[in-house]
């Protein structure tokens, strides 16, 4: 925390730029670059702090982009937390709102409907890929893979609330099953 | 011409949805069949709830709440909004919140949904960050996190499986089913197995996918 103004200015501009490149969800994509910027380049926080911020955000409920809030906090105090969060969220949200507003006039043309219907299988495939990649990155041995697969089966076959499964996962971890 | 969902009143006019193509415009009903009131306040509360139970990512919970439980959007509508939310820059879940909020209550609805998605989780992350600074890492916590992470990964995959099942259940005819399957598998393989950039995969697959859908529309 050398010079607060430059920390906050740096976070604001760099994170805002990054936010517009986060296509496809982005949290996994942006993390390495954010780490490079705040840890390696500027030494605002340590690598250990970065890893902790990432893990805490993954383990908390809510969008898992919120590790940027902790990174901002530990790098630049409360102002850093606020600026980091806004910089990641506001630019892309503004773009989405502008597009939604522009679409207001458009009726449901044949092309519009084709666009919607055509993107459905693409989306299903991408979501599957996201789950698969996440499994490969968090499951480091066969027992964790087994837990993930059991979770998939339970969720597809039953209407169990996922929160219970997450709790069961925590118990498995604590008693040393994984 | 534009695919983004426009705002319109959700509560009336049960649409007699054309069987094949997800033209299911919004019919918002509670499970009991009651029309839901979807002002900004209601959106804020529902999105907050989804966000606060959304361990390991909110998407599976958003699907469960919006499609399966409250039936505010059909599986097909959810998938096509999700595709746009993924392609637009920014966090997917935030874009999706904006789109769904906008559909029900315009700009105020969009902002209410996004705020609901973020407010509670930010408070929790800050609290946990504070706890981490105070108490450091405890082995017990670490072990619990490993187990939770494995379940969370399964959660995301199960959402994809459920969405695929819902989409294929609506397909009619061999050609249409086969082309849908080929495109879904290609998207999965491109990003999941070959690790191509998502942008490249979408740019390559979207044109033929949209063309096929266009031909099938009357």
- pLDDT (tens digit per residue) in B156-205: 788 889 889 988 888 878 888 999 999 999 999 998 899 787 778 888 99
Closest of A100, A109, A117 to residue B4, by C-alpha:
A100
Average pLDDT in chain A: 84
Q: What is the pLDDT of residue B156?
A: 79
B121: closest chain A residue by CA: A62
Q: At a CB cut-off of 8 Å and minimum separation 6, what does B42 contact?
A: B36
Residues A3-17 have a mean pLDDT of: 87
- Nearest CA distance, B139 vs chain A (angstrom): 9
Name the minimum distance, in Å, from the CA of B9 to any CA of chain A.
13
Question: What's residue A23's pLDDT?
Answer: 64
Would you say residue B22 has pLDDT above 60? no
**pLDDT reported for residue A86:** 96
CB B209 within 8 A of CB A119: yes
- Are B184 and A122 within 8 A, CB to CB? yes
A103 touches chain B (CB under 8 A): yes
Q: How confident is the model at residue A132 (pLDDT cuts 50, 70, 90)?
A: confident
pLDDT band at B36 (very low <50, low <70, confident <90, very high): low
User: Is residue A131 less than 8 Å (CB to CB) from chain B?
Assistant: yes
pLDDT of residue B207: 93
> What is the pLDDT of chain B when averaged over all its residues?
80
Nearest C-alpha of chain B: how many angstroms from A41? 23
pLDDT tens, residue by residue, B62-113:
999 999 999 999 998 898 888 888 878 888 899 999 999 999 999 999 999 9
Residue A141 touches chain B, beta carbons under 8 Å: no
Q: Is A125 on the interface with B (CB under 8 A)?
A: yes
Inter-chain contact B89–A147, Cβ cutoff 8 Å? no
Looking at residues B33-46, what average pLDDT do you find?
Answer: 77
B88 backbone φψ class: left, alpha, beta (φ>0; ψ -120 to 50): beta
Which residue out of A18, A62, A88 would a mutagenesis test of the B interface target, given it has the greatest number of B Cβ atoms within 10 Å?
A: A62
Specify the pLDDT at position B42: 94
CA distances from B173 to A33, A98, B24, B170, B214 (A): 46, 38, 20, 10, 16
Nearest to A123 among B83, B94, B156 (CB): B83
The tokens describing B110, both together, are 């969009």
B134-164 pLDDT, tens digit each: 776 677 777 887 788 788 778 878 888 988 9
In degrees and rounded to multiples of 5, residue A6 shows phi and psi of -70, -30
Q: Are A92 and B88 in contact (CB under 8 A)?
A: yes
Nearest to A23 among B57, B87, B102 (CB): B87
Question: Looking at the predicted structure, is the pLDDT value of residue A99 above 50?
Answer: yes
A26: confidence class by pLDDT, cuts 50, 70, 90: low
**Shortest Cα distance, chain B CAs vs residue A143, angstroms:** 9
Q: How confident is the model at residue A72 (pLDDT cuts 50, 70, 90)?
A: very high
| B55, B98, B163 member nearest A166 (Cβ) | B55
A140 has pLDDT over 60: yes
In chain B, what residues touch A63 (CB-CB under 8 Å)?
A: 51, 54, 57-58, 91, 93-94, 117-118, 121
Which of A64, A104, A127 faces B6 most closely, judged by CB atoms? Answer: A104
State how far residue B62 is from chain A, nearest Cα, in angstroms: 11
The pair of structure tokens assigned to A159 is: 């209407």
Task: Locate the chain A residue with the closest alpha carbon to B150.
Answer: A148
Greater pLDDT, A32 or A142? A142
Most confident of B67-76, B110-119, B124-133: B110-119
CA dist list (Å): A101 to A94, A119, B97, B106, B131: 10, 21, 15, 9, 42
Report d(CA A164, CA B186) in Å as an integer: 33
Residues of chain A above pLDDT 70, percent: 90
CB-defined contacts A:B, below 8 A:
403
């Amino acid at each position: 925390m050398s010079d607060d103004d430059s920390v906050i200015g740096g976070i604001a501009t760099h994170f805002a730029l990054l936010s517009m490149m986060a296509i496809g969800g982005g949290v996994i994509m942006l993390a390495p670059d954010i780490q490079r910027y705040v840890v390696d380049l500027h030494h605002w926080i340590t690598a250990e702090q970065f890893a902790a911020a990432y893990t805490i955000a993954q383990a908390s409920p809510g969008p898992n982009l919120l590790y940027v809030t902790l990174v901002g906090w530990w790098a630049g105090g409360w102002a850093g937390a606020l600026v980091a969060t806004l910089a990641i969220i506001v630019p892309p949200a503004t773009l989405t709102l502008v597009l939604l507003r522009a679409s207001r006039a458009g009726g449901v043309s044949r092309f519009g409907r084709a666009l919607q219907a055509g993107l459905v299988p693409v989306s299903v495939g991408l979501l599957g890929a996201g789950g698969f990649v996440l499994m490969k990155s968090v499951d480091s041995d066969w027992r964790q893979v087994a837990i993930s697969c059991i979770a998939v089966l339970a969720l597809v076959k039953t209407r169990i609330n996922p929160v219970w499964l997450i709790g069961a996962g925590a118990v498995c971890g604590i008693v040393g099953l994984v | 011409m534009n695919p983004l969902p426009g705002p319109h009143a959700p509560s009336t006019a049960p649409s007699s949805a054309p069987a094949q193509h997800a033209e299911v415009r919004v019919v918002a009903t509670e499970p009991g069949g009651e029309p839901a009131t979807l002002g900004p306040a209601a959106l804020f509360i529902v999105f907050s709830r989804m966000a606060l139970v959304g361990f390991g990512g909110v998407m599976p919970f958003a699907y469960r709440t919006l499609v399966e439980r409250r039936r505010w959007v059909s599986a097909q509508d959810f998938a096509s909004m999700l595709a746009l939310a993924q392609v637009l820059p920014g966090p997917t879940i935030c874009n999706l919140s904006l789109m769904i909020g906008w559909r029900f209550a315009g700009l105020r609805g969009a902002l209410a949904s996004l705020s609901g998605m973020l407010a509670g989780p930010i408070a929790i992350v800050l609290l946990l960050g504070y706890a981490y600074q105070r108490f450091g890492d405890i082995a017990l916590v670490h072990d619990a996190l490993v187990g939770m992470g494995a379940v969370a990964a399964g959660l995301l995959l199960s959402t994809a499986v459920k969405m695929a099942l819902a989409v294929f259940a609506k397909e009619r005819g061999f050609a249409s089913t086969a082309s849908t399957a080929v495109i879904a598998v290609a998207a999965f393989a491109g990003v999941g197995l070959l690790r191509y950039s998502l942008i490249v995969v979408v740019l390559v697959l979207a044109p033929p996918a949209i063309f096929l859908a266009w031909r099938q529309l009357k």
